[in-house]
A and B are shown apart, each in its own frame.
Chain A
Amino acid sequence: MNKFKQLLGVSGVLAASLPALISGVPAAQAEDIQQLRIAVKKDRYSVDPKKFNFTTRRPAGQIVETAVKPDENFIPQGVLFETWDYKDGIYSIKLREGIKFHDGQTFDAKAAIDGLKLYDQGRSDFLQIDQDSFDQTGPYTFTFKSEINSSLVIENMTHRGASLFSINGERAENPIGTGPYLLDSYKPKQSISMKRNADYWGDAPKVENITYHFIADDQVRLLALQNKEVDIVAEVTPQMLLSLPKDGSVVVHQSRPIRYVALLTNLHGKAPYDTLKDKRVREALAYAINREQLAQVLFNGKGVVAKGILPDWMFGLGDKHVDGFDYNTQKAEALLDEAGWTKGSNGMRSKDGKPLKLRLVAAYPNVSSVRPMPELLEQMFRTIGIDIELVQVDDSGVYDDTYLATGEADLYMEFASNNNADPTYLLYNLFHSKTPWGYQYTAPGGKLDTILDNARQAQSREEVIELVREAHREIVQTKLAAIPILMVPNFNLSRPGLSIPMFEHADWIDYGQVTQTK
């Protein structure tokens, strides 16, 4: 009898796998998902009609779409815009036809112009379109000009914040977009659920319903995944990576490296924060960092040694324009000797009775994101005779006002990325002396300002890229305004069996295309 049962079982398995065997489809076939639960850190809900989005960008991005999106090299590719052209200061747009808003309204030139005009009423007119220049030239075509004669308006439209809403809806309460999902339910600070838009114009999503759960605590996000209450954890800190279970119940997904860990140097500080005005000291720091070791120890060993703060694959920049710094403590010590910082009997350096002590502030985006990097760097700098005063701040307001704006530190550790398809975006905002982000003390000024201004005014993409390479070299090699350390991927965690189309920019991971492997 038992043998008969076994035979039946084997026959059943064979019968079930027969179609796959016949058609040659591998057994690990992807299947659609009914309900996908994603844990994200915060709900950035707003009902302020002046704001761009009604909730955290990631969920919002499933409902409202942008005109363009970044391709694999962060170059804009069409979404709602089919083609565009920039000539003699005028942008000519051709919209994709056959697209409707969720309420049935046709997405045409008038709707697109209305949507773009919303941004002029917004909190930050970052697209900087000349609002009086819109000219509808056909049902699906229109033109406009940039307020600042920039050739990078389309690049800036890849920002999720520039999604196009219909002006018909109350976008804070019931946003009407063209995206693959419709808003289903929203519980502020708890969750937001979306259901598949059956009439979506593009590739149909593979997930029927998506729910984002807002879970502030890092460890609790991980626990929720382990407890099978969510399927994906979208915001992953290094400490979460260090505390992953070893039983295979959690799978790490990663993109190509995009986030940089770097030390920004105070180039204009007043005493006692003026030590790094001497380039030899900055170079000594760059040579004293054992990047290979840091890459092995941190971020699950997934980080790579950085030559710059922009990845080589981005915008087709390559990395030939930067040399990087190898780990060479002898060279570092020689540079410090040459700069007059001599080693005492205790192994620490001083000049004219003043000890070589630097204040390193680790704060951005928060301490848990970079820990234990600051402690490891402190040890590395100590070996070449530099004493480090480590300040770890977990509040961006205190960081901005107390250390960045005052210049009361020598080194600022940052873990960030260029999240914009505008190649000048990060370099301009961080390193131009007119930086609106408060980095006046780490901005070299002079030649770099000119290069960045030229890049923002350049009228062709090739010219922009060449100037960005020049600016990047100036920042990380010539001036050492930033000492690059590591490049780190964007991570997601999931339960086993999920296939996530990872993307470097977290806002652009298409969770609607997540599949379950059989």
Chain B
Amino acid sequence: MKPFVFKRTLSGIPTLFGMTLIGFLIIGLTPGDPIEMELRRLGVSFTAEQVEALRVEYGLDKPLIQRYFIWLLDLFRLDLGTSIASGRPVLELFKEHLPITATLSVLAFVSSLALSLVLGTVTAVSQRTSVSTSLYVLTMFLVSVPSFWLALFLLAVFALGLGWFKLLHFGNAQDLILPVITLTLGNAAVMSRLVRERIIAVMSEDYIRLAITKGLSRRTILGRHVLKSILPPLITNWAISFGSLLGGSVIIENIFNLPGLGQLALQAIAERDFAILQAYLLFMGLVFFLANFAADLTNHWLMPQLKEDDHGVR
């Protein structure tokens, strides 16, 4: 186990560095001058000299690669830079916005995990029944419907129609119910399809047929044999889903007016707030790396008989 952990950690370091470099280049080469955009937003006249002076102040006059290495050095000192738009340290902004996104993502992840297992199992084991067909159609619908539409639909029904929820955010746990439901429904629908496919595939294996002929109960077969076989690919998928939830809550946070990381990133894109964007990219890279790492470790722990290579379980 220890060499495996060591190898995976080691392989992650160049990946993260590469990602920060590519991210820095992409952000730096994106059209739009953050200083000019900021000054225009203020709606006042400005001169080319003033723009240049501010570029110097924010270090934007230096070549991109030089800026990257400065950023990297600062990163080792846990300094993520200062937001051009707000003038506040990025680390402070992250501390402020991360809790909402993390809570939202964890809740949505746990609930979509549970829902997907139920939906996937029911649609797989009771194929060609009306219940299974209805649930399958429902999951297909939820997979295809855009999350912003679903969010507005839920708001119209439960906030505007029934008056059960408020649209404005007041920092209560209740504020998270509709966003979590929106994220859960879409995510569970996608995850349940994989659960269904894997169960159907495993159920046609010879050893399962043997178990059935031996007279083992369906529950025992599902719990003891099927679930064990389908877990490794599902765990990898769940890890990716968790990362996607963290990154994919941007639109949901915007619609539900939740001051999370997604909203911060969205505004940073519009304002070309490089320091925030770069930190966001780094954060997302770390999340995906850690989620995959956790998935590989879990798989390794669950099925030590599987051989590992540099990329984890195969």
Chain A, range 180-221, C-beta contacts under 8 Å to B: 187-191, 213-217, 219-220
Q: Give residues in B with beta carbon < 8 Å to A.
A: 30-33, 36-48, 50-51, 54, 85-88, 96, 152, 155-156, 159-160, 163, 166-169, 171, 254-257, 259, 263, 266-267, 269-270, 272
Query: In the bound complex, do residue B42 and residue A215 qualify as a contact, i.e. CB atoms below 8 Å apart?
Result: no
- Interface stretch (choices A45-53, A61-69, A257-265): A45-53
Please determine whether A126 and B45 come into contact, CB atoms closer than 8 angstroms: yes
Q: Which of B44, B87, B155 contacts A50 (CB 8 A)?
A: B87
Closest CB pairs A-B (n = 5): A397-B32, A48-B87, A401-B31, A126-B44, A189-B259
Contact pick for A161, options B38, B43, B160, CB 8 Å: B43
Inter-chain CA distance A438–B159, complex, in Å, is: 44
Contacts of B36 in A (CB 8 A): 400, 438
Contact call B168/A437, Cβ cutoff below 8 A = no
- Rounded to whole Å, the gap between the CB of A490 and the closest CB of chain B is 15
- A47, A159, A217, A227: the one contacting B257 at CB < 8 Å is A217
Closest A-chain residue to B155, C-beta based?
Answer: A223
Tell me whether B32 and A229 are in contact (CB under 8 A): no
- A interface residues, how many (CB within 8 angstroms): 51
Given contacts A126-B45, A397-B272, is CB(A213)–CB(B168) below 8 Å?
yes
A-B CB contact pairs (8 Å), 27 listed = A50-B87, A51-B87, A123-B39, A123-B50, A126-B44, A161-B43, A161-B44, A214-B257, A215-B168, A216-B263, A217-B254, A220-B152, A220-B167, A223-B155, A223-B167, A227-B166, A395-B32, A396-B32, A397-B33, A397-B37, A398-B31, A398-B32, A400-B32, A400-B33, A400-B37, A428-B45, A436-B45
Are A227 and B160 neighbours in the complex by a CB distance under 8 Å? yes
- In the complex, what residues of B have CB within 8 A of residue A46's CB? 85-88
Is residue A419 contacting chain B, with contact meaning CB distance below 8 A? yes
**Within the complex, what minimum Cβ distance (angstroms) separates B92 from chain A?**
10
Q: A: which residues have CB within 8 A of B?
A: 42, 44-52, 123-126, 156, 159, 161, 172, 187-191, 213-217, 219-220, 223-224, 226-227, 229-230, 395-398, 400-402, 419-420, 425, 428-429, 436-438
Task: Evaluate contact between B44 and A159: CB separation under 8 angstroms.
Answer: yes
Check B267–A42 contact: CB distance below 8 A. Answer: yes
If A45-B86, A48-B86, A223-B155 touch, whether A124 touches B45 (CB-CB below 8 Å) is: yes
* B168:A396 contact, CB within 8 angstroms: no
Known: A220-B256, A397-B31. 7 other contacts (CB 8 A): A46-B87, A49-B87, A52-B44, A216-B254, A220-B155, A226-B160, A227-B166
Q: How far is the CA of A405 from the CA of B256 in the complex (A)?
A: 36
Q: Please give, as numbers and ranges, the residues of chain A lying within 8 Å of B256 by CB-CB distance.
A: 220
Complex CA distance for A224 and B156, rounded to whole angstroms = 10
Is A401's CB under 8 angstroms from B32's CB?
Answer: yes
Are A223 and B160 within 8 A (Cβ)? yes
Q: How far is the CB of B91 from chain A (nearest CB, A)?
A: 14
Nearest CB on B from A210, distance (A): 15
Closest Cβ of chain B to A212, distance in Å, is: 11
Give bound CA distance, A220 to B155, whole Å: 9
Please determine whether B257 and A223 come into contact, CB atoms closer than 8 angstroms. Answer: no
- Which chain B residue lies CB-closest to A42? B267
Instruction: Evaluate contact between A229 and B168: CB separation under 8 angstroms.
Output: yes
Contact residue among A49, A124, A188 (Cβ-Cβ distance under 8 Å from B39) = A124
Q: Which residues of A contact B43 (CB under 8 A)?
A: 159, 161, 419-420
Tell me which residues across on chain A come within 8 A of B159, comparing CB atoms. 223, 227
Instruction: Output the nearest chain B residue to A437 by Cβ-Cβ distance.
Output: B40
Task: Give Cα distance in the complex from A230 to B159, angstroms.
Answer: 14
Chain A's closest residue to B168 (CB) is A229
**B31: chain A residues within 8 A (beta carbon):** 397-398, 400-402
Please report the C-alpha to C-alpha distance between residue A166 and residue B234 in the assembled complex, in whole angstroms. Answer: 61
Shortest CB-to-CB span from A439 to chain B, Å, is 11
Complex interface: chain B residues within 8 A of A124 (CB): 39, 42, 44-46, 50
CB nearest to B266 among chain A residues: A216
Q: How far is it, in angstroms, between the C-alpha of A286 and the C-alpha of B262 when the chains are bound?
A: 43
Q: Which residues of B contact A227 (CB under 8 A)?
A: 159-160, 163, 166-167
Which chain A residues border B156 with CB–CB below 8 Å? 223
B37: A residues at CB distance < 8 A: 396-397, 400
- Min CB distance A34 to B, Å, is 18
B47 touches A436 (CB 8 A): yes
CB contacts (< 8 Å) of B168 on chain A: these are 191, 213, 215, 224, 229-230
Query: Which residues on the B side are within 8 Å of A419 (C-beta)?
Result: 43
B44, B46, B85, B167: the one contacting A229 at CB < 8 Å is B167
Contacts of A428 in B (CB 8 A): 45
A429 to chain B, nearest CB (A): 6
B38 contacts which chain A residues (CB < 8 A)?
A: 123
Smallest Cβ distance from A285 to chain B, in angstroms? 27
CA distance A235 to B50 in the complex (A): 30
| A183: min CB distance to chain B, Å | 17
Least distance between A409 CB and chain B CB atoms (Å): 14
Give the docked Cα–Cα distance between A46 and B39 (Å): 13
Which residues of A are found within 8 Å of B171, using beta-carbon distances? Answer: 187
Kindly state the separation between the CA atoms of A398 and B269 in the bound complex, as whole angstroms: 11
Give the CA-CA distance A396 to B33 in the complex, in Å: 10
Q: Give chain A residues whose Cβ lies under 8 Å from the Cβ of B152.
A: 219-220, 223
A224 touches B44 (CB 8 A): no
With A42-B267, A397-B32, A401-B31 as known contacts, state yes or no: A436 contacts B155, CB within 8 Å.
no
Minimum CB–CB distance for A24 against chain B, Å: 41
Q: Nearest-CB distance from A58 to chain B (Å)?
A: 12
Name the B residues within 8 Å of A188 (CB-CB). Answer: 96, 259
**A226 vs B44: C-alpha distance in the bound complex, in angstroms?**
35
Complex Cα spacing A166 to B160, Å: 44
The CB with the most chain B CB atoms within 10 A, among A156, A396, A420, is that of A396
The residues of A that contact B272 with a CB separation of less than 8 Å are 397
Using CB atoms, name the residue of chain A closest to B38: A123
Most buried by A among B32, B45, B171: B45
Q: How far is the CA of A482 from the CA of B255 in the complex (A)?
A: 36
B86 — which chain A residues lie within 8 A by C-beta? 45-48
Point out the residue from B30, B44, B88 that lies within 8 Å of A397, measured CB to CB: B30
With a CB–CB cut-off of 8 A, which chain A residues contact B96? 188
A123-B54 CB under 8 A given contacts A220-B257, A402-B31:
yes
Cα A48 to Cα B39 with chains together (Å): 14
Closest to B92 in A: A47
**Pair B48/A436 contact, Cβ less than 8 Å:** yes
- Chain A neighbourhood of B163, CB < 8 A: 227
In the bound assembly, the distance between CA atoms of A425 and B46 in angstroms comes to 11
Q: How far is the CA of A125 from the CA of B256 in the complex (A)?
A: 38
How many angstroms between the C-alpha atoms of A156 and B46 in the bound complex? 13
> How far, in angstroms, from A51 to B41 measured CA to CA in the complex?
12
A215 (CB) vs chain B CBs: closest residue:
B257
User: In the assembled complex, how far is the CB of residue B154 from the closest CB belonging to chain A, in whole angstroms?
Assistant: 11
Complex Cα distance, B49 from A126, in Å, reads 12
- CB B41 to nearest CB in A, in angstroms, measures 7
Select the residue from A49, A214, A230 with max chain B CB neighbours within 10 A: A214
Give bound CA distance, A104 to B167, whole Å.
39
What is the CB-to-nearest-CB distance from A39 to chain B, in angstroms, rounded to a whole number? 9
**Which residues of the other chain, A, contact B255 by a CB distance below 8 angstroms?**
217, 220
B44, B46, B160 pick with most chain A CB within 10 angstroms:
B44
Which of B45, B50, B160, B169 is in CB contact (< 8 Å) with A425?
B45
